[in-house]
Amino acid sequence: TAFYYGRVVENPTCRWSQYICNATKVNCDDEASIPEGLEGCCSPEIQPAIQERAWTSPIWFTPR
């Protein structure tokens, strides 16, 4: 008896907050130009991209 499952990894995409940072053209080199509420755009703790993962339920297989 064995079991298998499918697993997929999405190409890295911008995090939703990074889309907002890009749309407002936040310049992290000039701290005075960062709008209020968008300080997180320049935070090293927040990654600008994410990579989603998914997998199927186990598929049980019994050879005959």
Could you read off the pLDDT of 43-61 as tens digits, one per residue? Answer: 999 999 999 999 999 888 8
Residues of the chain with pLDDT under 50: none
Q: Where do the structural domains in the chain lie, given as residue ranges?
A: 2-61
Among 31, 53, 51, residue whose Cα is nearest residue 42: 31
